[in-house]
């Protein structure tokens, strides 16, 4: 079962992070946290991985609506957005598929689709 949506970018990692931040901002998301997994795993485990960052993104309006529908949704907030290098000029961006929120929580009020259109 796919649990994420993925975008493949033909750009280096640093540019992919910048573009991802810009795209999130254009859709009303702010970045609350940033975890540099490459640096963390190197420091804590001595493990080398490709550049990999987790952005904790939040759209206050969407978060407010989700919390109103199900206060337990906070365990899934902020939304994690992963940007990772897959090659010298290749990157991927992964986000949790919001269409899965009803299945994960058992609450259809968290359906991200507007079926009225």
Q: Where are the domains of the chain?
A: 4-93
pLDDT surpasses 90 at 44 = yes
Token representation of residue 103: 């299945």
Structural element, H or E, at residue 69: helix 60-69
Residue partners of 111: CB distance under 8 A and separation at least 6? 99, 101, 102
- For 4-93, CATH number? 3.30.310.70
pLDDT surpasses 70 at 70 = yes
pLDDT surpasses 60 at 49 = yes
Measured in degrees and rounded to the nearest 5, phi and psi for residue 92 equal -130, 145
pLDDT score, position 103: 82
Give the Cα separation of 40 and 3 in Å (integer): 25
* 115 — pLDDT class (breaks 50, 70, 90): very low
pLDDT surpasses 70 at 58 = yes
The label of the residue with tokens 């940033």 reads 34
């Amino acid at each position: 079962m796919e649990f994420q949506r993925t975008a493949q970018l033909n750009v280096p990692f640093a540019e992919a992070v910048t573009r991802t931040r810009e795209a999130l901002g254009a859709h009303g998301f702010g970045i609350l946290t940033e975890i540099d997994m490459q640096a963390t795993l190197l420091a804590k485990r001595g493990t080398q991985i490709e550049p990999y960052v987790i952005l904790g993104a939040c759209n206050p309006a969407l978060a407010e609506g989700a919390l109103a529908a199900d206060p337990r949704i906070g365990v899934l907030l902020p939304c994690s957005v992963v940007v990772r290098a897959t090659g010298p000029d290749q990157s991927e961006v992964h986000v949790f598929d919001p269409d899965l929120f009803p299945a994960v929580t058992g609450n259809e009020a968290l359906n991200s689709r507007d079926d009225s259109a």
